[in-house]
Amino acid sequence: MPELPRAVWVVLGADAVSAVGSGLTLPFLLVYLHRVRGLDIGWAGLAISAVALAGILGNPVGGYLADRIGARNALVCGLGVAAAGSAALAGVGSVGTAFAACGLLGVGVAMIWPSQDALLAELAGERQRSSVFAVRHATMNFGLAVGAASAGLLANASDPSSFVRLYLLDAFSFLVLVPVLLRFVGPAPVARERSGGGYRQVARDRAFRWVWVWALLMVAAGVAQFHAAFPAYATGEGGLSAGRLGVVYAANSVAVLVLQLPVLRLMEGRRRTRGMAVVCLCWAAAWAITLLAGGRLVLFALAMVVFAVGETFLAPTAAPLVNDLAPGELRGRYNGLYALAFTAGFVVGPAVCGLVFAVGADAAFLVGCAAVLCLAGAATPALERLLPANVNGDGADDA
């Protein structure tokens, strides 16, 4: 396990606790709104989409606040907004309140992402950033898995109060972190912003624009389909039951926990862009295996293990690269726009998936996703030429 500053472990622990809360609730949001609160399935689905759409506002706001009031203080603000949204979900009684609660939760979570990334980057320093983001990915996955497993035992569709308790626990998992952060993580000094800075300066960074487009393609064709196309295809064409699909996703979670630290060591002294290319190739291979799986559980599980390998290469490469590329006074906004690429991918990817699957072109869609991922992977050498050696990790990261 990497040796990291105490303040970093505090933030990582806080993130894991928050992940437990998210794991308690997010997998059941559609079931809760439709079956427990009685919303029409169409309205329930649209309300859930408000979580992602609200991120389009929350990501840049979180990044801006991280630069203006400090990353820790911006993170505290995001935690408060997210807690309010989750608590509001516990009392949803109409379509309007469902949209409002989902939107509030989405803004809060989207504010948390860039401010937390900026805070971790500041606390860790340049030489430990790859280690920090890799460990964060493992602990976050562990928290989500614990939360989802616990929710399966606590949730009862015939007992609305069980879901109310879950959403109140989620709200508590956000709020309980505020005094911990204020007590154990000191406020970082806010860097003086240069004239003509802000998001316009970030947008003028050619290397960052390449990273942003790469991230958008990678998310839309990769990680978004982990939640959209893969389960739809596996339970449709593949004929997997919900229980077997759970086994497949469990294989992914276990693989991430087992492989994350070995992959971190493997990436020491290697170019981050090479790891980013591996992400795309692994995820393209995962979709290829999915198409060849037929109805065989072992091949679907193998696809998710290969997908997990890609995840473990993503954590110590792209986010640390963004933070090394960013000047101190704009780190929050770099993280805000980087998070926005993920949010946009999560909006676009499932939407296109739904349209294509509706006309029965399931296999063709996965082929298209694999092709997009190969294109994104092939673009990394061009990005490599734009990056200084210390930003790309050429011997600069001893993890």
Phi then psi for 64, rounded to 5 degrees? -65, -45
Q: Where are the domains of the chain?
A: 1-188, 197-389
Question: Rounded to whole angstroms, how far apart are CA atoms 160 and 72?
Answer: 36
Q: Along the 399 residues of the chain, how does pLDDT read in single tens digits?
A: 778 889 999 999 999 999 999 888 877 788 788 888 888 888 988 888 888 899 999 999 999 999 999 999 999 999 999 999 999 999 998 999 999 999 999 999 999 999 999 999 999 988 899 999 999 999 998 998 888 888 777 877 678 888 889 999 999 999 999 999 999 998 766 666 554 578 999 999 999 999 999 999 999 999 999 988 999 899 888 898 877 888 898 899 999 999 999 999 999 989 999 999 999 999 999 999 999 999 899 999 999 999 999 999 999 999 999 999 999 999 999 999 999 999 999 999 998 998 998 899 999 999 999 999 999 999 999 999 999 888 997 644 433
Structure tokens at 305: 């293990």
Superfamily classification of domain 197-389: MFS general substrate transporter like domains (1.20.1250.20)
What type of residue sits at position 173? S
Question: Rounded to whole angstroms, how far apart are CA atoms 84 and 87?
Answer: 5
Question: Rounded to whole angstroms, how far apart are CA atoms 27 and 107?
Answer: 19
pTM: 0.90
Return the CATH number of 1-188, one of 1.20.1250.20, 3.30.750.24, 3.40.50.2000, 1.10.3720.10.
1.20.1250.20
Task: Give the torsion sign (CA, 112, 113, 118, 119).
Answer: positive
Tell me how many degrees the CA angle 111-229-248 measures, rounded to the nearest 5: 95
Would you state the pLDDT for residue 394? 64
